Amino acid sequence: MDAAYGFERDEDPADEVIIEAPPPVIGGAERRLHVRAYEHWVSLLCGRAFPSIADLDFDALADFEPRSVLIDYTGDVTAPRIARIGATLRDECAVAGIESVADVPRGSLLSRLTDHYLEIIATRAPIGFEAEFTNHQGMPTLYRGILMPFSADGDTIDHVLGVINWKHTLPDDLTDALQREMAKLGGPGNSTRH
């Protein structure tokens, strides 16, 4: 009997089945980030409609806190303040001194989260979204975001945690030029067979 599993095991390595890990999924990391954020939010529910903001521990959010924003609705719901911006998100957006949603630069990556701030009040549920835009540096950027509501009294949404992940892509003209050059060299995308 094997002490670890409680079963007898045949120790002949020739009988072992080798299972190879599946190839990585392109874009999978972004989805997993949002799944982890959502699962953490669900773990804080404890039978309530919304988790309490008091239960949110930023030290426990190491894998997504740097790409997050905390929106505080405790003042005027139509003019919420920004309570916290993760360092990676702040650096990507090149923003400083953001105190309210109104201060968020239009067209910034941060605005991709904050533009949905009234929608989450109306739906009263987490909102996930993904899209592409051109950032302030002219780089095409693919992103996925999720907004998750919190409530101190269990009914009124008073905070929203947003998490976003992104990746930059090549501009279309550069991608087209690269594909033309690869085709000349007989690389991927070349329809000529030898």
Buried b (16+ CB within 10 A) or exposed e, 47-71: eeebbbbeebeeeebeebbbbbbbb
pLDDT at 97 over 50: yes
Average pLDDT on 111-139 reads 90
pLDDT in tens, 37-59: 999 999 999 999 999 999 999 88
- Lowest mean pLDDT across 56-65, 90-99, 127-136, 179-188: 179-188
| Closest to 170 (Cα-Cα) out of 180, 162, 160, 178 | 178
CATH number corresponding to 28-185: 3.30.450.20
| Closest to 69 (Cα-Cα) out of 165, 151, 164 | 164
Helix (H) or strand (E) holding 49: none
pLDDT in tens, 3-41: 443 434 444 444 444 444 433 444 555 457 888 899 999
Angstrom distance (rounded) from CA 90 to CA 86? 6
Whether this model's pTM surpasses 0.75: no
